[in-house]
Amino acid sequence: MLITSGTSFHYLSWDGECGGKWYGDEFFRLASGDDDVSEVNLLPELACRTRKSRDKRICRWNVGIFLGAYLCGVVPLWDELYNSESISQVYGVFIEYLSQLPDSEKIKLTDLIYDDNCHLARFAQRKNLRNRNKVTKFFADDVRKSIDRFHFVNHTDQWCIDNCDPNNVKELDDVNTEICEQLFQQS
């Protein structure tokens, strides 16, 4: 950390990569949600309006748990979320999880079902993220991203329908896409 003229600056870089950038405190305040101040968002906003961080002004201190489960109910992915379930946080959780898997396990991961995959898929396709390393490229290119059936009815944008509809994926025909919703369902 560097402090100059009363402002704190932090040096950020990815492990194993050359270079990095200095960011001031303002960056962290703005980037705590989906606001990507480091890159210009070149993609138009989807009409489905399902972004979870839209209410973060109201619930800015809430924290939550993000989990990933296999269809059998086993939970291999468990991480804490801060402020709101922003796309940048969810992306970071998935990339960190994938980076810890051996290549033989990554190959088995062909589908990701998540209730806001339309935004996550587009976020992962950004050139600055997609081309960062083997894991980010694998996630962007090789993992099919669908929305679970329960939440899909809220996704009305044509892009969502064309790219994330679980009903268009034959391999998901008899799959319980709501397993994560059901794991912590109160009786």
Domain coordinates in residue numbering, the chain: 48-183
User: Which residues of the chain fall below pLDDT 70?
Assistant: 1-63, 186-187
Report the pLDDT value the prediction gives residue 16, as an integer from 0 to 100: 56
Gap between the Cα atoms of 64 and 80, Å rounded = 6
**How far is residue 38's CA from residue 28's CA, in Å, rounded to a whole number?**
10
- Residue 24 has a pLDDT of 61
